[in-house]
Amino acid sequence: MESIGEQSTGHHFIHQRIAEDCAAGRYEGRVHTRFPPEPNGYLHIGHAASICLNFGMAEAFGGLCNLRFDDTNPIRETSEYAESIMEDIRWLGFDWGDRLFYASDYFEQLYQLALELVRAGKAFVCDLSIDEIRAHRGTLTEPGRESPYRDRSIEENLALFQGMRAGDFPDGSKVLRARIDMGSPNLNLRDPVMYRISRARHHRTGDSWPIYPMYDWAHGQSDSIEGITHSICTMEFEDHRPLYDWFIEQLGIHHPRQIEFARRNLSYTVMSKRHLLRLVEEGHVAGWDDPRMPTLSGMRRRGYPSGGVREFCERIGVGRRENTVDISLLEHCIRQDLEGRALRYMGVLNPIKVVIENYPEGAEEELEGPLHPTDSSFGSRVLPFSRELYIEATDFMEDPPRKFFRLGPGREVRLRYGYFITSKDVVKDPDTGAVVELRCTYDPDTRGGQAPDGRKVKGTIHWVSARHAQTVEVRLYDRLFSVSDPTDVPEGGSFLDHINPDSLTVIHCPVEPALRTLEAGAVIQFERQGYFCVDREDSRPGAPVFNRTVTLRDSWKGGAGGEKA
Ligand code: ATP
Ligand code: MG
């Protein structure tokens, strides 16, 4: 791990810096953070890392964490997004108490602060178009050129800015700019735009503001207004910090400490909102909460427990170098979380019929199986048994190799919580030659899975009674992309070229009858197959639809997962 001093305290560098501030009595030992999303999309797993960090630091230091929507761009923002963001944060297990804020609540305060800068000669109204401003801006190697409007008098600037606020000028005709330094090596300090004129309707303030603050102007002042002590943000804001500091110093208002950390990416998926929006809008997925999406709503629908997601965020750690985390670590954390508490059932994904020739026709009995293999407190469920069963077609081979411990001609296996059965004969499709039915016998003395003569079998397979089974829809989800970095495409290519064509397979399969009573959202294990979640949207009472949450095969290679090259 690269984090400074990681070895000495076991804490990441942000934790350490906050601890240092507290020890030094900075901010009177107060810790107050915030999570500041723009309500212009659904939250994804990268945001979860930021949420865990901000709320986690507040918790660790006995402080507070606000939720603030940085809603300064009305064109892309909606209250639907804001609602979904709140639901996701609650689901993750965090609580902002009564501290839900919106940058738009500060529009008047921000306007007053801007007037202060104008009065101090630190901001001016500029009539250049956005394109002209860009052309004047210079490059990393060349200084910018000053605007011809830069030396307007304070009185003129005041009148013009008040006119902008009053709606006297058309959209895009003027901006308010900070008056800093067009020769600064930091482009963010070259007289950045603070306000633009736009008649866009805002989802909270409606039509009351014909001007909107730029993010860079609103963000730092909003943190200051809220008394935030530690403004944790991602690395791209490192170069904006001098600007944020400049605003705050000119105004002489409360000065939070900004600390940057690197974004986390995840393999086999995309994380940019632009890409996610495209997946949704072009119908490559069924919506923001499609279980294949890296969104928190997608993960919730897929059955990922929030505890597993939080554990993942903990394990990827906090660093200053951007990196991509292996998605198998996330899947590993999900399995670990579910292992101890998901109830076990049997369902046959790829069924083949078995007829037990020596079991009386029309007879049936009730067997019993525990709902969890190691925790008896979960109790058990009834497993009806009869002459005709389904087992997994892949649990039989006509010509099995030696290491295949399941069914083959003449071989004996254990039916989970049932009897020993022996394969006697097969029925084939006369046209294709494919095996379509197995004819077996059972040993009535092995009820419950033990032979009184101590005879052993190597294999145990899952099954359901054909007559009692319920057929349900099962959605087998796989990774959405077939390559680790879908955005790595040649000229003219698109990340969409890498969509995994098999990311969703819908099947209908027999499952044991006890599953009928599961509630929407419940996550269970189909023994030997994986974890599955009862879909919240499409399940009906008595007719669950199952989403595969994750398979049982764990491909995680170990390690912490954070700062791997
Ligand atoms: P954009 O600003 O382009 O709309 P964003 O991903 O930055 O997209 P925000 O709503 O601004 O979205 O993000 C809220 C917070 O989450 C920000 O503080 C941001 O830095 C943090 N964040 C976003 N993506 C990641 C990520 N992949 N890893 C860690 N933190 C992230
Ligand atoms: Mg952002």
Q: Is the model's pLDDT at 495 over the cut of 80?
A: yes
The whole-number average pLDDT for the span 190-199 is: 98
| Per-residue pLDDT at 1 | 41
**In 3-state terms, what secondary structure has residue 20?**
helix
Long-range contacts of 236-244 (CB under 8 A, 24+ apart): 239/186, 239/187, 239/188, 240/188, 240/216, 242/186, 242/188, 242/189, 243/178, 243/180, 243/186, 243/188, 243/189, 243/192, 243/216, 244/216, 244/219, 244/220
Work out whether the CA dihedral 49, 50, 55, 58 comes out positive or negative: positive
What is the SS3 assignment for 243? helix
Answer whether 273-339+472-551 and 344-468 agree in fold.
Answer: yes
Q: Choose one of 51, 228, 234, 312 to mutate for the ligand 1 pocket test, by most ligand atoms within 8 angstroms of C-beta.
A: 234
Q: How far apart are CA 348 and CA 371, in angstroms?
A: 17
Q: Dihedrals φ, ψ of 338, to 5°?
A: -80, -30
Rounded distance from Cα 66 to ligand 1 centre (Å): 16
Of 35, 38, 325, the residue with max ligand 1 atoms within 8 A of its CB, to mutate for a pocket test, comes to 38
- Position 563 pLDDT exceeds 60: no
Which CATH number, 2.60.40.650, 2.40.240.10, 3.20.20.70, 3.30.565.10, labels domain 344-468? Answer: 2.40.240.10
Show me where the domains of the chain are located.
Answer: 31-261, 273-339+472-551, 344-468
Nearest ligand 1 atom to alpha carbon 50? 30
Most confident of 8-22, 280-294, 545-559: 280-294
Question: pLDDT tens digit string along 71-94?
Answer: 999 999 899 999 999 999 999 999
Amino acid (one-letter) located at 101:
F
Q: How far is the CA of 395 from the centre of ligand 2 (A)?
A: 50
Q: Tell me, what's the pLDDT at 336?
A: 97
pLDDT above 70 coverage of the chain, percent: 97
CA distances from 79 to 44, 212, 223, 329 (A): 17, 18, 22, 33
pLDDT of 97 above 60: yes
At 353-381, the pLDDT tens digits run: 999 999 999 999 999 999 999 999 999 99
State the distance from the centre of ligand 1 to the C-alpha of 37, rounded, in angstroms.
Answer: 7
CA 326 to CA 270: how far, in whole Å?
13
* CATH code linked to domain 31-261: 3.40.50.620
pLDDT at 3: 43
Question: Is-contact 269 483, C-beta < 8 A?
Answer: no
Superfamily for 273-339+472-551?
Ribosomal Protein L25; Chain P (2.40.240.10)
Average pLDDT over residues 83-111: 98
327-351 CB burial, b ≥16 within 10 A, e <16: bbbbbbbbbbbbeeebbbbbbbbeb
pLDDT exceeds 70 at position 564:
no
Q: What is the pLDDT of residues 519-549, one digit of tens each?
A: 999 999 999 999 999 999 999 998 999 999 9
Ligand 1 centroid to 77 CA: how many Å? Answer: 15
Q: Which residues contact 162 (CB under 8 A, 6 or more apart)?
A: 115
Whether 51 is in the pocket of ligand 1, judged by its Cβ within 6 Å, is no
| Distances, alpha carbon 323 to alpha carbons 40, 46, 53, 514, 565, in Å | 24, 11, 17, 44, 7
d(CA 19, CA 526): 46
- State if residue 323 touches ligand 1 by the CB under 6 angstroms criterion: no
Atom 22 of ligand 1 has which residue's CA nearest to it?
47
Between CA 290 and CA 299 the distance in angstroms is 8
- Give the residue whose CA is nearest to atom 27 of ligand 1: 46
Q: Is the pLDDT of residue 257 over 50?
A: yes
Is residue 5's pLDDT more than 70?
no
Q: In angstroms, what is the span from residue 35 Cα to ligand 2's centroid?
A: 11
On the 0-12 / 13-18 / 19+ scale of CB atoms within 10 A, 502 is exposed
Distance CA 106, CA 109 (A): 5
Provide mean pLDDT across the span 220-244. 98
Which helix (H) or strand (E) is 352 found in, with range? strand 351-356
Given a cut of 90, whether residue 149 has pLDDT beyond it is yes
pLDDT tens across 430-446, in order? 999 999 999 999 999 99
**Spatial strand order in the sheet of 530-534:** 343-345, 523-526, 530-534, 545-551, 470-477, 504-511
The model's confidence at residue 557, banded by pLDDT at 50, 70 and 90, is: confident
Whether ligand 1 lies within 6 angstroms of the CB of 144 is answered as no
Four-CA torsion 58, 237, 38, 67, nearest 10 degrees: 10
Indicate whether residue 264 lines ligand 1 (CB < 6 A): yes
List, in order, residues 6 or more apart from 45 with CB less than 8 Å away: 264, 266, 271, 294, 295, 296, 299, 309, 312, 313, 330
Check if the beta carbon of residue 318 is closer than 8 Å to that of residue 66. Answer: no
Distance between Cα 61 and ligand 1 center (Å): 23
- Residue 381 Cβ < 6 Å to ligand 1: no
Question: Does 324 sit in the ligand 1 pocket, CB within 6 Å?
Answer: no
Report d(CA 221, CA 147) in Å as an integer. 25
**pLDDT confidence of 558, banded at 50, 70, 90?**
confident
Does ligand 1 lie within 6 Å of residue 273's CB atom?
A: yes
Q: Which residues contact residue 546 at a Cβ distance below 8 angstroms, ignoring those fewer than 6 apart?
A: 347, 472, 473, 474, 475, 511, 532, 533, 534, 535
When the pLDDT of each residue in the chain is averaged and rounded to a whole number, the result is: 95
Q: How many Å apart are CA 288 and CA 280, to the nearest integer?
A: 6
Best residue for ligand 1 mutational test, from 34, 43, 44, 50 (most atoms within 8 Å of Cβ): 50
Positive or negative: CA dihedral 334, 335, 340, 341: positive
List, by residue number, the catalytic residues.
38, 263, 273
pLDDT in tens, 471-492: 999 999 999 999 999 999 999 9
Residue tagged 């970095």 (tokens): 485
Query: Which ligand 1 atom sits nearest the alpha carbon of residue 274?
Result: 3
Residue 76 alpha carbon, nearest atom of ligand 1: 4
Mean pLDDT score, 316-323: 92
Cα distance between the two ends of the chain: 10
